[in-house]
Amino acid sequence: MSKKVKFQTPTGMHDILPEDQFLYEKIWRVVDDVAKFYGFGKIDTPLVEEAALYEKGTGGTTDIVEKQMYTLKTKGDDILALRPEFTPGIVRSYIQHGMINLPQPVKLYTYGPLFRYEHPQAGRFRQFHQVDFEVFGEQSAALDAQIIQIFYIILKELKFSHLIIEVNSIGDNQCRPYYKKLLSNYLRPRQNSLCADCRRRIRENPLRTLDCKEEKCQRVRSQAPQLIDHLCEECKNHLKSLLEFLDVADLPYHLDPYLVRGLDYYTKTVFEIFSDKAMATNQPVDGGEETVQRNALVGGGRYDGLARLLGGKDVPASGAAAGVERIISLMKEMGFDSGSEPLAKIFLAQLGDLPKKKSLKLLEEFRKAKIQIAESLGRDSLRTQLARADKLGVEYTLILGQREVLDGTIVVRKMDTGEQQTVKLDKVVEEVKQRLKK
């Protein structure tokens, strides 16, 4: 006997049901408006890229490349990966289309789904959406500040009130190698007090030990030398300039010397944006011992070496991405409602086969006239249809029966008084338009 199969969405992936669509649409609308105002052009890149793009771009020692990529082999033996982030794909596109020959800076933005094979938990999914902004060809910290400001504005437009911007500089090729050595020298004799991941990170990427969420690792790091004290002149000035821009733009930031971010390509500026509300919602991970630390809504920074690493020229760049599901979950907590959903003021009730057939064309005439109209084509009884119209709170119900179809008429019923009038079927859209105007 065959077992009954019960299909579910894959772990960590979710349907977006009709009742939640308005939240996504609201975000896309705000993002498009802000992007247009600040001169960003929309770009869409493929959902899959060569896996090597991420191995090289995102970086071999990152969690994304080590553990989280969905890779696949095509029939032609190409190794592709579902995109785990936007940045390497957008840099690839910038190089591929010779955007270096355009007037700089080139400002691009996008949004869409991404895939990471994560341990699913609150605010962490295997398929999720990001809004992503990138600027190419400009070294000035002004652009880092503008990227931060843009995400701050987007969140404000979505009614977030208490936002915190954490910033740091992780230096560049001049100063970081020396600091890494300094940090490894500090960590090595203390490795027994670190978690297994951090013991491994001492060799591979000691900076990552700084943002480890384990308490024992945080104890060790509290005495560690700080990168901010070892920045080269250029990085120091860049950071100083960034903070000045943030001050003048009234963006409330906090300098966090332990913020390093989990991606390999950053140089100088790194930042994350949190909501106070997000901090209050820390909750235990399913079945795990760790607790979810506050989830960043936005993460980004400067990445001056990535274009060259991916085969292009030296192009300074800066950007960031926001996690859409994290934003939506807080919007829901804040009671964000659809508000602007068009509510039908008219209901079309039909009685019988012929009227039902006529209804399809009539509904389309109302759509063309931009009049929202509700119906219940699956129902036959007038009583049920009127009850539904009542529930929707419409002003008028149009009643189309067999006789009306034959006469080329329709009944217009005013719902609050019950008053009815018969009008010509081919004039009903105009008639309703006039009545709604009153």
- Residue nearer to ligand HAM on the CB measure, 132 or 404: 132
Site track for ligand HAM across 272-311, x = CB under 6 A:
------------------------xxxxxx-x--------
- Cα dihedral: 322, 260, 161, 110 (round 10): -20
Q: Which is nearer to ligand HAM, 329 or 350 (CB)?
A: 329
| 167 touches ligand HAM (CB under 6 A) | no
Direct distance between the N- and C-terminal alpha carbons of the chain, in angstroms, rounded to an integer: 66
For residue 149, give the nearest of 247, 254, 2, 19 by alpha carbon.
Answer: 247
Give the nearer residue to ligand HAM in terms of CB position, either 87 or 350. Answer: 87
Of 69 and 348, the one with the shorter C-beta distance to ligand HAM is 69
Contact string 27-46 vs ligand HAM (x = CB under 6 A):
--------------------
Q: Which residues within the stretch 84-113 sit at the binding site for ligand HAM (CB under 6 A)?
A: 85-87
The token pair at 378 is 């699956």
Binding mask of the shown chain, residues 321 to 350, with x at each position contacting ligand HAM by CB under 6 A? xxx-xx------------------------
**Entry field: residues in the chain:** 438
Pick the closer one to ligand HAM by CB: 55 or 85.
Answer: 85
DSSP 150-171: HHHHHHHHTT---EEEEEEE--
DSSP annotation string for 369-422: TT--EEE-TT---HHHHHHHHHHHT-SEEEEE-HHHHHHTEEEEEETTT--EEE
Which residue number has the CB closest to ligand HAM? 323
Of 300 and 312, which CB lies nearer to ligand HAM in the complex structure?
300
Q: Decide whether 130 or 359 has the Cβ nearer to ligand HAM.
A: 130
Cα R_g (the chain), whole angstroms? 28
Residues in 375-404 at the binding interface with ligand HAM, rule: CB under 6 A: none
Choose the stretch contacting ligand HAM; rule: CB under 6 A; options: 36-44, 170-178, 315-323, 408-416: 315-323
CB of 305 to ligand HAM, least distance (A): 13
Q: Could you list the beta-strand ranges (E) of 293-372.
A: 298-302, 317-323, 346-350
User: Applying CB under 6 A, which of residues 59, 105, 319, 355 lies at the interface with ligand HAM?
Assistant: 319
CB of 320 to ligand HAM, least distance (A): 5
Q: Strand order in 269-275's β-sheet?
A: 41-42, 106-115, 127-136, 317-323, 298-302, 269-275, 163-169, 253-255
Q: CB of 319: closest distance to ligand HAM in angstroms? A: 3
Nearer to ligand HAM, 48 or 354 (CB): 48
For residues 49, 54, 56 and 59, what is the CA-based torsion angle, rounded to 10 degrees? 180
* Identity of the amino acid at 277: K
Q: Which residue in this structure is represented by tokens 């500040």?
A: 145
320, 151 Cβ separation under 8 angstroms: yes
Window 114-133: residues binding ligand HAM (CB under 6 A):
116, 118, 123-125, 128, 130, 132
* Shortest separation between residue 89's beta carbon and ligand HAM, angstroms: 10
- Nearer CB in complex with ligand HAM: 124/388: 124
Q: Which of 77, 86, 104 is nearest to 48 (CA)?
A: 86
Q: Which of residues 256-275 bind ligand HAM (CB under 6 A)?
A: 263
**CB-side exposure of 17: number of CA atoms within 13 Å?**
2
CB under 8 Å, gap of 24 or more: what pairs does 381-385 form? 382/349, 382/351, 385/347, 385/349, 385/350
> Taking a C-beta distance cutoff of 8 angstroms, is the pair 428, 404 a contact?
no
When the beta carbons of 118 and 431 are compared against ligand HAM, the nearer one is: 118
Number of residues that bind ligand HAM (CB under 6 A): 27
Q: How far is the CB of 276 from ligand HAM (least distance, A)?
A: 16
- CA–CA separation, 383 and 282 (whole Å): 50
Could you list the residues that contact ligand HAM (CB under 6 A)? 85-87, 116, 118, 123-125, 128, 130, 132, 134, 263, 296-301, 303, 319-323, 325-326
